[in-house]
Amino acid sequence: MRKIIGAAALVSLMLSPLLTAQASTPAEDREAFREYFKKNMPSDDLADYKNGIYAFNKDARAQWEEIEEFPPYEIQLDEGEELWDKKFANGKSFESCLGKLDTIRAKYPHFDEKNDTIVTLEGSINKCLTENGEKPLKWKKGKMASLSGYIARAANGQKIKVEVKGDKALAWYNKGKNFFYAKRGQLNLSCADCHVYNASKWIRGDNLGPALGHPTHFPVFRSKWGELGTLHRRYGGCNKQVRAKPFKAQSDEYKALEYFQAVMSDGLEINGPGARK
């Protein structure tokens, strides 16, 4: 008997380093995430995941390529250009705050050490406006989406690059990670339930989009919306679909989620605005 207890103690002692192992790092999470898609999805061409379900639905891809010949978001890109070119009342412009047009999109989202927050492109657009005495734009669509789309288009081909440095940044990352994997709403679904574990599968007449590549193509033109919408607008719609109360665009919850998603899609090409069903 004593021998058995002794052996059990020994085994548990050997196991304890495993049980008390440190939580995985963002880099490790990202690697595991990419591996999961590579192994479990119909396509192992990870770079193509910037195209969402078009990575594995040929019919939808053909339709989308036709749509892209005369992009339905073109008018909004023109509006974005006008907004970009227009001087503020004080003579300054978006370029004064955000820098050169083609250098902007890839900087977001990022962690702001001083204010302990996540800075998004849309957040910086409105900060620029208010700091220059202009009225801020509504967050989810319209002019905000047009300008965000124009800025994204100028960065097409550049890659998402997000680094999580320091404990505070890590806390934001973990907040987003928890949000992503937590069950939510009356239907009790996590983001991962649909967009990782069942990505590419059919939910009635629709394919579930892969979470890998989610942030590359926003703002997005959705046929359902008939216009461009921001990533946070889509988050709100997703939360409603699982019958959860959506958070506000640019809330800490959605900013953290955007940050986490960007880390997961680090290295993928920026190709916004996209067009989706």
Partner 1 sequence: MRENFRIVSTALSALALIGAIGFSATVSADDMEEGKKLAFNKKKGNCLACHLIPGGDQPGNIAPPLIGMKARFPDKAKLRTQIEEPRTANPNSMMPPFKAHGVLSEKEIDKVVDFIYSL
Q: Which residues bind partner 1 (CB under 8 A)?
A: 186-189, 193-194, 197-198, 201-205, 208
Nearer CB in complex with partner 1: 195/233 = 195
Q: How far is the CB of 81 from partner 1 (least distance, A)?
A: 40
264 and 176 Cβ atoms separated by less than 8 Å: no
106 and 98 Cβ atoms separated by less than 8 Å: no
Q: CA 191 to CA 195: how far, in whole Å? A: 6
Structural tokens at position 248 = 């506000």
Q: How far is the CB of 102 from partner 1 (least distance, A)?
A: 41
Verify whether residue 238 is a known catalytic residue.
Answer: yes
Q: How many CA atoms lie within 13 A of 234 on its CB side?
A: 25
Nearer CB in complex with partner 1: 115/186 = 186
Nearer CB in complex with partner 1: 95/193 = 193
Nearer CB in complex with partner 1: 83/189 = 189
Q: How far is the CB of 186 from partner 1 (least distance, A)?
A: 5
First-last CA distance in the chain: 66
Which of 97, 128, 191, 238 is flagged as catalytic?
238
Nearest CA to 242 out of 200, 201, 203 is that of 203
Q: How far is the CB of 215 from partner 1 (least distance, A)?
A: 23
Long-range Cβ contacts of 162-167 (<8 Å, 24+ apart): 162/109, 162/110, 162/259, 162/262, 162/263, 162/266, 164/26, 164/111, 164/263, 165/111, 166/111, 166/113
State the catalytic residues.
238
